[in-house]
Each structure stands twice: as structure tokens, then as C-alpha cells.
Structure 1
Amino acid sequence: MTTETAGRNDQRDDAATAYVHGYSDTEAQRLGDQADTLAELLHAGTAYPAGSRVLEAGCGVGAQTVHLLAASPGVLLTAADISADSLAQARVRVAAQAPAARVSWHHGDLHRLPFADDAFDHVFLCFVLEHLADPAAALTALRRLLRPGGTITVIEGDHGSAFFHPRSRAADDAVELLVRLQARAGGDALVGRRLHPLLADAGFQDVTVRPRTVYADGARPALVEGFTRRTFVPMVGAVRAEALAAGLTTPEAFDRGVAELGRAAEPGGTFHYTFFKAVAVNP
């Protein structure tokens, strides 16, 4: 069962184009591949009691939503996102994969969600803060919506944790271009390392942050395919046009970097990346 919350959106929807990875069908597929590949790694330990009021802030195309619902099938979920197109895709995905779930959909800016104080028992964010110019302000705004004693769970990556074999300066440069482009768009691709101070400064207590590490090699072919080849390499490659338009690289240098990054998914290659998962309590 789903419902729609129209809400007031103080930003035009095209303001969401600051999302550095774009809103293409290819990106939606990449997000789905990433979520499915990493579901056990990222969602382990997150399960809410039936009847809990849960807010997923920045649900995007619903790639994480279906895994959130699978772990907590009885929750009353509100899924919010600034992109109407992404919300539409999320509704389709949830209807197909979790048709019995109770979900309310809200189109709006997570800094100004029109819900009452203490409206939720739990708040969940995954890969959201990295795209925000002021993640501390977003966390403060979300804390207002969380009841005393309620929890917030935040999952973020950190591109500085990516290293791979064979080593390649060109591949390192391509990853760094993505970090720079995200910063130019107002985000922070290295935000994973900042979760503890961000949550503490926003007023949360009992903050715990734990690394969730992906390591893919020839003995882990599912991770090689699902994460290295179908998630990380395409994510870097997708910013080609933006990097060239910004004058940050040349076609030859960028293409070489992505090709050499892709060698980590070939026989003999290895790839490492760390996500950070934080849980904190609203006092």
C-alpha cells in the first residue's frame, strides 16, 4: 500500500541536478546494481520493529528502499526525495519488489520537510550527505523530526578509500576528478570520514561509526562484477562529459584513466573501498 504526500518543495526540482552522477536510466541501473550487491554489507544490523515510523530521507530511485523494507517489513515508511522523477522510479521499484509495504511518498527538500516535531521513530539516509553543501544543516533539520530516543542511521562512502591493483596514476587521477567535480557541485565525496563529528555537532548522542569494507578479487567474482565492474568504474566513467566541459582533463587522459581503472576487474586485479555506517540517538 502506498500513499502520496504532495508537500511544499522550496526548491525547483531541477535544483537536484547538482547530483553529480546525473539522472539517466544508466545511473538508475547502476544504483540498483550497487544496492543489490552491497545489501548484506550495508544493511546488516539495521532492522526496525513492526509499526515503527521510519523516514528515508533522500530515497532516490528506491534502490536502498527495497532492502530497507526487506529487513523491516512491518514499518510505516515515509520516503522523501527532491527529484520527482526519482520518486516515480522508486514507487515502481517498491511496487514490484515489496508490494505489501506501507509507504508514503513525499516530494520535497529534506532541509524543509513539512512533518511535525518528533514525527518519526527512526531516520535512515544512504548516500545522501555526500551531495549536500551543508550536511550539518541537513542533519539538524532531520533531528527535529525524530522523537527523543529515536535513532538515525547514515551510510556514506569515501572515495579516498579506493585503492586497487594494478596501480595506475591515470586511474587515480580519474577518481580524483570525480571528487573534484562533486566538490564543484557543492558536495563532498570524502564525507564518510566526517560522519562522527557531523552527527555530534548536529546534537546527536551515542554516535557510533563503523567501516564496512568492500574487497574484490578473483576469489570474489560476484563483488568483482557487481561492485568493481558495474558500480564503481561506471560511476567514474559517467562524469566524462562534465569533466571535459569543466576543462579539468583531456579526452585521452580521461579515457585512459577509466580503462586502467577497469583493469582492477580483470583477472589478477583487486579493488578495495570503504563505506562508513553511523548510528546515533536523538537525546
Structure 2
Amino acid sequence: MSDPNARNEGTRAIVTGGAQGIGFAVAKQLVAEGCKALALVGRSGEKGAAAVAELERLGAEALFIGADVSEPANCARAVAEATERFGTINGLVNAAASSARGSLTETTPELFDFLFNTNVRGPFFLMQGVVKGLLQARAPGSIVNVLSMSAHAGQSFLTPYSSSKGALAVLTKNVAASYRKNRIRCNAVLPGWMDTEGEDAVQRKFHDAPDNWLELAEADQPMGQLVKPHQLAALITYMISPQSGVMTGALVDYDQNVAGVVGE
């Protein structure tokens, strides 16, 4: 049996949103599994520097690329910078996203464009850059997109967000089908309600949440917790790694609540 502590030793990865939350948890898990080459993409240079220092302390070579992934030129630049530093990138985790609130009747064109540019256009052009590099190198690779259980429908105040994650679900399957004969795999995870820095900010900004909102929320969950980034990270790094074999086009729900179940 392959050693899980070495399953990503050949991975050279880009992780978006990599300086915090899900992205940073994935980056640390990749290093724990042998990855030595990591490019983190994000907006905060301060958080990026701290994340790189931590990953280098753990034994990896890390690079922070400051970029807003909603702009295609930034996606192309991120792939180019990572490739110049590490060689052909064979792993991509699209974890950067916005979950800004908006209902059907309240969503402005500006909010709609912001969410789709960040949550769909960014992953699209990052995948484009990585796949082009893999095709040129005639090398296998693996992509994992972070979606949301909201892709199944979502709440009334998440209409454009849910729509963007639904679009990314279709994009995941399309890319998987398009490049499977090139041994380029593309999968996605759909986490439920998560305990992240970003969620804390959203709860306070949009829902006037009290300081103990997390305690209250977890007490109401079937398993007594929200999804933790380190729990999800282990699944994502397995899906990125060669250990996941021929797995491609999969959309994996990661939640304690089951889609389609009502009133239980």
C-alpha cells in the first residue's frame, strides 16, 4: 500500500485562497504528504508572507503570488510565475471564493458579476493555464475545485453564489471529460457550513452574529460541529494525489446534512 505521508511528493501545486482558511489547510496537508513546491495565490501580502514562512518551516519551497483571481490576466500571471519557479504545475486547488449575500430580487448586476468573476471565471482561467502547461509537457495532473453544498440549490439569500457554484460544478465535469485521455483529472468537493475566518466575517457582516455565533451554530448541528478546514483538506489532498487513481468528474458532498432530506 502506498504511504499516505508521501502521496503528494511529486506534486507541484497552485492553491488559491492559500493564505488562510481552506486553502492554507490544504497547503499544510500537501506539505505533510511530501509536497515540496507550492504556490499560494491570494490578495493579502501580509497573510501570504506568514503562510509562506510556515510552509517553509515545515520543509517546503513556497511562493506567494498576490492576485485577484477574478481577472483573467492575473490567473495567467499566477500560472506563469508558479511554472517559472517550480516547472510544470501538476496540481491545482481552486479554493478562493466569495459568498457575498444576495437574493434574486436584491442582487445587483455588479454583485452578480463579482461573484461569477471570482467563483467561476477565476477557476476557469486558472484551469486553462494549468491544463495548457500539462498538455505541452505531456504530463498528467489533477485539479480539485472547492464548491459548496449550496450548488444543490442554496438558501434564498445565496442566489447568485449558489448559481456560481452550480456553474463551477458543470465546469468541473466538462474539464474532467475533456482531458481524461490526457490523464488530467478534475474533481470537486462540496462542503457544508464551515468554521473559517471568512465565515466568521460573513456572519458578522451580513447576519449581525454575536461573538458566540459559532458555539450556537455548532450546538444545532447533527454532529455538534461545523466542517473544519483540516478535515476537508485531507480529502482534497487525496483527490489531488496519484493515490486517487482514475477518479475524475466526481462531485463529493462533504457535510453532515444530506441533500434532499427535509424535516429530520
> Scaled by the length of structure 1, what TM-score is found?
0.48
Match of 1:239 in 2: 202
Match of 1:139 in 2: 127
- Alignment check: 8 A CA contact 2:15 2:95 kept: no
Cα deviation, residue 125, structure 1? 0.8
Bigger share in strand: 1
- Alignment check: 8 A CA contact 1:159 1:189 kept: no
1:122 aligned residue (79, 86, 90): 90
Largest Rg, 1 or 2: 1
Cα deviation, residue 66, structure 1? 1.5
Q: Distance in 1 between matches of 2:219 and 2:161?
A: 24
SS at match of 1:120: coil
Q: Distance in 2 between matches of 1:237 and 1:67?
A: 23
Q: Distance in 2 between matches of 1:83 and 1:189?
A: 27
Match of 1:12 in 2: none
> Scaled by the length of structure 2, what TM-score is found?
0.51
SS at match of 1:47: coil
Match of 1:102 in 2: 61
Supply the AA of the counterpart residue of 1:231.
D
Match of 1:55 in 2: 13
Supply the AA of the counterpart residue of 2:75.
L
Cα deviation, residue 83, structure 1? 3.2
Q: Distance in 1 between matches of 2:160 and 2:215?
A: 19
Cα deviation, residue 71, structure 1? 0.4
Q: Say if 2:25 is the partner of 1:69.
A: no
- Alignment check: 8 A CA contact 1:111 1:142 kept: no
Cα deviation, residue 258, structure 1? 8.3
Cα deviation, residue 90, structure 1? 0.9
Q: More deviation in 194-203 or 86-95? A: 194-203
Cα deviation, residue 86, structure 1? 2.9
Q: Which has the higher contact order (CA 8 A, sep 6+)?
A: 1
Supply the AA of the counterpart residue of 1:152.
S
2:168 aligned residue (156, 174, 191): 191
Q: Distance in 2 between matches of 1:190 and 1:158?
A: 11
- Alignment check: 8 A CA contact 1:56 1:124 kept: yes
- Alignment check: 8 A CA contact 1:112 1:141 kept: no
Cα deviation, residue 80, structure 1? 3.5
2:139 aligned residue (138, 149, 153): 149
Q: Within 5 Å, give how 1:264-279 maps onto structure 2.
A: 264-265=220-221, 277=239
The count of aligned residue pairs is: 196
Q: Say if 2:147 is the partner of 1:160.
A: no
- Alignment check: 8 A CA contact 2:119 2:168 kept: no
Q: Within 5 Å, give how 1:7-26 maps onto structure 2.
A: none
Cα deviation, residue 151, structure 1? 0.3
Match of 1:36 in 2: none
- Which ranges of structure 1 fall in alignment gaps of 5 or more residues? 1-42, 164-171, 215-226, 245-250
- Alignment check: 8 A CA contact 1:127 1:156 kept: yes
- Aligned Cα root-mean-square deviation (Å): 4.9
SS at match of 1:89: helix
The change in CA–CA distance for 1:237 and 1:192 in structure 2 (over 3 A counts) is: farther
Bigger share in helix: 2
* CA displacement 1:189-211 (0-9 Å, x = unmatched): 77346422244458984465667
Q: Distance in 2 between matches of 1:270 and 1:77?
A: 30
- Alignment check: 8 A CA contact 2:90 2:141 kept: yes
- Alignment check: 8 A CA contact 2:8 2:33 kept: yes
2:76 aligned residue (111, 114, 118): 111
Q: Distance in 1 between matches of 2:130 and 2:28?
A: 22
Cα deviation, residue 261, structure 1? 4.7
SS at match of 2:48: helix
- Alignment check: 8 A CA contact 2:195 2:214 kept: no
- Alignment check: 8 A CA contact 1:57 1:110 kept: no
- Which ranges of structure 2 fall in alignment gaps of 5 or more residues? 68-73, 99-117, 241-246, 249-264
* CA displacement 1:23-74 (0-9 Å, x = unmatched): xxxxxxxxxxxxxxxxxxxx9995233xx6x13241233332111111015x
Q: Distance in 2 between matches of 1:136 and 1:271?
A: 29
The change in CA–CA distance for 1:263 and 1:44 in structure 2 (over 3 A counts) is: farther
